[in-house]
Amino acid sequence: MDVQNIYYDGRIKIPYTWYVGETGSRFLIALRDNKEIWGNQCPQCKKVFVPPMKTCGECFVPTGEWLKLADTGTVESFTVVHYENGVAKRPLPVIYGLIKIDGASGSLLHFIGDVKPEKVKIGMRVKAVFAEKRGGTILDISHFAPVKG
Amino acid sequence: MERAGIVGVGQTVYERRKEDTFAELVFEASTKALADAGVGIEAIDNIITVSNDFWDGRTISSMAIQDAAGSWDRDISTVEGDGIFGALYGMMRTLSGSFDTTLVVAHVKGSEGNMNMITNSMFDPIYQRHLGPDATSTAALQARVYMEKTGATEKDFAKVSVKNHGNGVKNPFAQIKKKITIKDVMESRKIADPLKLYDCSPISDGAAAIILSTEKGLKRFKKDPVWILGVGHCSDSYNLGYRDLAWPRALDAAAQKAYKMAGIKNPLKDLDVVELYDAYSYMELLWYEGLGLAPRGKGAELIRSGATGMKGELPVNPSGGVLSAHPVLVAGLARLIEATLQVRGEAGTRQIKGAKKALAHGINGPCGQAHGVFVIGA
């Protein structure tokens, strides 16, 4: 017997309210209120984490000292994304970068902007551009733009 | 020491938008594995299912398909991750002394959800998710780091795509069967620079199942087992910015553990065939290095040499690999099934002549955060 295929559309949309933790709160408040990027340091391996971590995964100990870092960094990797994925609400193409903030031991994932995609290079120096309206989220940094001069 | 062997395997054909429900896919793969083993469900002591709630669009996705896996009156447990880890858990249960036989079955319907949004959800909700990264854009970040640190080129990546898609032509289970050229790959649509369309695996639906047995359980089955000779698994940092994206140290650790157990000294020589998780073309080169098939930083040289082609010293992905069908969660188990078919000499026109020892590899998490490695042999 020939049976017509029936499809059922669904969309799961569930509100969550995630506590970002004391460590995360401190980081996001510094972005929001002072346009400052803070990291913290593992007392054993001395790695500096941005975003900050409550514990060092490698040493398995609580992190210690907080450090105010620069708002500049270096592009460690980047990609120019040519498709809409329904999450990043930005005009195409979207440029993502792994940005090593000066003084940090690893990279931060963020947008790269104010630059033509073909001009982006590994090793490029960039500076955080803060959003006009800031609400205590990672998007309080609008993007990273090439350092001028 | 007690051993575990693979006594039955089953796969659906992998396609985009399969006209089967989740339960139908699971039933098909499970019953194919049972038929392959020459038994009915009564021969199975316990069951491991592999599924993910986000991909299925429901919570406790395992519960919805347990009847289709034959769990009635049986102990059942679940792995939420790649099928290679389902096989690992299944092996552990088989060897635990509690069960002599285990059915492991994985399913996914990638076409029914939204790959980008689902893989976006694996990222940290506070610091990363709202930026919109997904499996493909982060893979692109990894590909570029790899190029920068090793000198591998987009053409080297294209060579992987050409090889694996070419192999896929001979695999009746593959979704994309295509003879393509380097030029085709290089000129394909830009997705996330440096990755182009043919550098990326497709969105696939399907299911796969294996049956594991102890030596004691073997008398229930008709086929000779393919033994698990070595196994290893390891995970790296979740945070991409704090991981060396150009060196898969978790794979190195997993592979070395498996090699030690299996008595593999020189994997390039001692193994006859490898099935690895090439979700994106460049990954194959990176995994060559992690698996010790190429020296660190020299993955591109191995593909250039032709050693991993069908007629090379160590064919990699004769099935066409994940580039030819990417049922997420199922794909690692499919690698193990393909490796099993090779060792049995049942891989049809994609058979590597005389294959005795094979390696299967699966990954979990963004940019290959976790790796599972099986070495199997007759």
pLDDT tens-digit series, residues B127-148: 999 999 999 999 999 999 999 9
Q: What is the pLDDT of residues B293-323, one digit of tens each?
A: 999 999 999 999 999 999 999 999 999 999 9
On chain B, the residues whose CB falls within 8 A of the CB of A85 are: 116-117, 120, 132, 134, 137
Tell me, yes or no, whether B187 lies in a domain: no
Tell me, yes or no, whether B212 lies in a domain: yes
Domain span at B73: 4-114+203-220
How confident is residue B285, by pLDDT bands cut at 50, 70 and 90?
very high
The tokens describing B349, both together, are 């026109």
Q: What is the pLDDT of residues B219-234, one digit of tens each?
A: 999 889 999 999 999 9
Q: What pLDDT score does B14 carry?
A: 98
Place of tokens 């039933």: B27
Domain count, chain B: 1
Peptide bond into B194 cis (omega under 30): yes
Q: Which residues of B touch A (CB under 8 A)?
A: 19, 57, 114, 116-117, 120, 125-134, 136-137, 140-142, 144-145, 148, 189-195, 237-243, 245
Kindly list the domain boundaries of chain A, sorted by start residue: 21-146
Q: Flag whether pLDDT at B94 surpasses 70.
A: yes
How confident is residue A88, by pLDDT bands cut at 50, 70 and 90?
confident
B128 and A106 within 8 Å at the Cβ level: the answer is: no
Tell me, yes or no, whether B377 lies in a domain: no
Q: What pLDDT score does B223 carry?
A: 83
Q: What pLDDT score does A148 carry?
A: 84
pTM of structure: 0.97
Tell me, yes or no, whether B269 lies in a domain: no
Determine contact, residues B240/B301, Cβ cutoff 8 Å: no
Peptide bond into A51 cis (omega under 30): yes
Q: What's the DSSP call for residue A91?
A: P
B120 vs A81, A87, A107: nearest CB? A87
Q: What pLDDT score does A149 carry?
A: 66
Tell me, yes or no, whether B152 lies in a domain: no
How confident is residue A1, by pLDDT bands cut at 50, 70 and 90?
confident
B130 and A137 within 8 Å at the Cβ level: the answer is: yes
On chain B, the residues whose CB falls within 8 A of the CB of A86 are: 114, 116-117
Looking up residue B35, the CATH number of its domain turns out to be 3.40.47.10
Q: What is the pLDDT of residues A97-126, one digit of tens each?
A: 999 999 999 999 999 999 999 999 999 999
Please report, in angstroms and rounded to a whole number, the separation of the first and last CA atoms in chain B. Answer: 17
B192 vs A18, A81, A138: nearest CB? A81
